Structure 1
Amino acid sequence: MSKTRPVLIVTAKLDTHADAVISELKARGQPFFRLNTDDFHTEYRTMLRSGDRSVTFEDIWGRSVRFPHDVHAIWHRKPVESNNPPGVKQRGTADMIQSETLELLNSLSCFHDRPWYNNPENNRVSQRKFPQLCLASELGFRVPRTLITNDPGEARRFAAQTQGGVLCKAMKEAGYSTPNGSYFIFSRRVGKDEFDAHADRIALCPTLLQEYIEKDYELRVTVIGDEVFACRLDSQADEAARIDWRMVSPDRIAHSMVTLDNKVEAALKAMMRRFGLRFGAFDLIVTPEGETVFLELNPNGQWYWIELTTGAPMASAMADLLQS
């Protein structure tokens, strides 16, 4: 375990996951450098040099780190867009600054000299839902029948062949902002009459449709290196959480840590290897008949609420991984 070279943590100022893991690292005497990308223009200076293939970050408190040479590992946790530099008010100028800043940060992914958790390029590929479903099926999972289309006729035919209604969900961005506010798109079960009434709008945007599969309970499985934390969510006991458990506060749902079937665990780890990941959060369901169904993989998913709810030592496992 490294206690000399620092761990580089790329995240945002408000990140309880990073806070928890940093507390673990501090207790172990492990150096780290935290880069909060929202404060990039006010608290950091950056130098990326082609000569020695390195990037140096310095903060306003005099701390610095040179990546990859002086870094043990990098945790690409939850970076966000940087706040506009003071005095920048024009939208076009702000957009250009955001684009250039993002390009600089994305350039870090070309350095493969140190362990990544995870490399953002691998995250981008693995977060796409259609490739996930194809790979999950190849690895032996049952997956929901799925159609992605902007053809209302095909959508209606799919819905007509689906028992129990159609599930509509976002392919990528579940959250978005408008001048009138911010919104989150939850997965939604739509009945036949409502679907028929609105299906023509599918022509406006490719839409992900799935058969709805009845659940006995749900599983949130977080894989941290070789450690597997499987949490059972009894979402079906709360009417508001039956379709999408994210619609309610976690404290309304009973959580319990469980042991996965060996074949299920092996398949999840195989998916991680295929996507080049060392961290991932999986959403699975278990049907009333006891069959495990793959829903999706979030390569940078949330997990700290599970530790707070169940006591599972997930922050410690993440610190172990960063030091390994």
Structure 2
Amino acid sequence: MKKILFITNHSDNAVNSVVAWLDKLNQYYIRINTEDFFAASEKLTITLSNLSIDCNYTLNEIEILPSEILSVCYRRPSLTTFDGKSHSEYIHAQWKHAIWSLTTTLESYWVNHPLWGKNLLEHNKLYQLRLASTVGLKIPDTIISNNINEIVNFSRNHGDKVACKPLRHTNLVNEADAPVGIYTQMVTTKEFIGRDQSLSIAPMIIQQYIEKKIELRVTIIGHHVFACEIHSQSSDRTKHDWRRYDFENVKHAVHEIPRKISDRILKLMRALRLNYGAMDLIINPEGEYVFLEVNPTGQYGWIEDITGLPISKTFALALIEPTENGIKRYSVQ
């Protein structure tokens, strides 16, 4: 019987909701939670034979035959740290690369293969924007810089206000040792003046500020496109970044994307070699759709809960019937 393989972690809510559907549909699957690899009881063996030019995998005496794998869902595998343990860096590195060896020798339908989804596209906004532009999606003018003169000139050329964000979402620690997220901010030219020292510490993304009518969170699975309106301008809290969540005041609703735009979105997904993505767009006051980024492992649970869109079920069906659902089999070679 064909199996679906999950390489993930215990707490990923998207995987939890998808496997619940697989249980309902009586589809057999194997779930590898990579945090468990570090337990003394966990055993992994990867075997390569010169005769068969094939790999066989065994995890805790459960054999995983590549020929039996229908599709693979790779979502946010996490590796336990070894603080205070002897040779912790060595142990962590060996497990990390054992997992990498597994993923790069298993030919199947991937959602998504880490070669592209993680290594190439994750936090690589400029590359995404360039490809989005080539398929006909509108994008904001963008620079990455820590040069105060370039930043000020860019801001002046774009109406004296720009959107600033980190290249990678990272938490800082405040005076109370609590994590503090860094969100997108609208910054004026005047606010940049005199901040040479702080701005030169590290590069950041500065973009043309796009006025918003509404924002969209678009979840793509194969050729299925689910769009949700986020009325972020209804709250001062979410005006510049809806990830500051204000569910009481910010309406979420199903959105019908014009065929021309959805075709371009799917074309971009193929160019990025993604079978799944959580995409962020803005609809400006003129009604134009503006691409911001796509997250290869983005979450969608709150969208599904609020709108009732059948995202988890579609995800499960796509893993069971990948070709019928538009998922491509990308070679890792």
TM-score (norm 1): 0.90
Which amino acid in 1 is paired with 2:261?
Answer: V
Which amino acid in 2 is paired with 1:95?
Answer: E
Partner of 1:77: 75
- In structure 2, the CA distance between the partners of 1:47 and 1:135, relative to structure 1 (3 Å rule), is same
Which amino acid in 2 is paired with 1:129?
Answer: K
Q: How does 1:22-171 map to 2 (within 5 A)?
A: 22-42=19-39, 44-51=42-49, 53-59=54-60, 64-84=62-82, 89-90=84-85, 93-123=87-117, 124-127=119-122, 128-163=124-159, 165-171=161-167
- In structure 2, the CA distance between the partners of 1:145 and 1:47, relative to structure 1 (3 Å rule), is same
- In structure 2, the CA distance between the partners of 1:305 and 1:251, relative to structure 1 (3 Å rule), is farther
Partners of 1:233 and 1:254 within 8 A in 2? yes
| Runs of 4+, deviation exceeding 3 Å | 176-183, 249-252
Which amino acid in 1 is paired with 2:54?
Answer: R
Q: In 2, Cα distance between the equivalents of 1:164 and 1:81? A: 44
Partners of 2:46 and 2:102 within 8 A in 1? no
Q: How does 1:214-253 map to 2 (within 5 A)?
A: 214-250=211-247, 252-253=249-250
Partners of 2:148 and 2:192 within 8 A in 1? no
The count of residues paired between Structure 1 and Structure 2 equals 313
- In structure 2, the CA distance between the partners of 1:164 and 1:261, relative to structure 1 (3 Å rule), is farther
Q: In 1, Cα distance between the equivalents of 2:111 and 2:71? A: 8
Q: In 1, Cα distance between the equivalents of 2:112 and 2:304? A: 21
1 or 2, which has the higher helix percentage?
Answer: 1
- In structure 2, the CA distance between the partners of 1:178 and 1:44, relative to structure 1 (3 Å rule), is farther
Q: In 1, Cα distance between the equivalents of 2:284 and 2:100? A: 40
- In structure 2, the CA distance between the partners of 1:57 and 1:304, relative to structure 1 (3 Å rule), is farther
Which amino acid in 1 is paired with 2:260?
Answer: K
CA shift for structure 1 position 158: 1.3
SS of alignment partner, residue 13 of structure 1: coil
Matched, 1:319 2:320: no
Q: Unmatched 5+ residue regions in structure 1? A: none
CA RMSD of aligned residues (A): 2.1
- In structure 2, the CA distance between the partners of 1:263 and 1:208, relative to structure 1 (3 Å rule), is same
Q: In 1, Cα distance between the equivalents of 2:248 and 2:98? A: 39
CA shift for structure 1 position 45: 1.6
SS of alignment partner, residue 138 of structure 2: coil
Give the share of equivalent positions with the same residue, in percent. 29
More divergent stretch after superposition (200-209 vs 139-148) = 200-209
Partners of 1:38 and 1:80 within 8 A in 2? yes
Which amino acid in 1 is paired with 2:170?
Answer: G
Partners of 1:155 and 1:199 within 8 A in 2? no
Partners of 1:176 and 1:182 within 8 A in 2? yes
- In structure 2, the CA distance between the partners of 1:177 and 1:121, relative to structure 1 (3 Å rule), is farther
SS of alignment partner, residue 215 of structure 1: coil
CA shift for structure 1 position 95: 2.4
SS of alignment partner, residue 205 of structure 1: coil
Q: Unmatched 5+ residue regions in structure 2? A: 322-333
Partner of 1:208: 205
| Per-residue Cα deviation, 1:169-206 (whole angstroms, up to 9, x for no partner) | 1223x034769453422111122232223243332212
Q: In 1, Cα distance between the equivalents of 2:185 and 2:42? A: 42
- In structure 2, the CA distance between the partners of 1:95 and 1:183, relative to structure 1 (3 Å rule), is farther
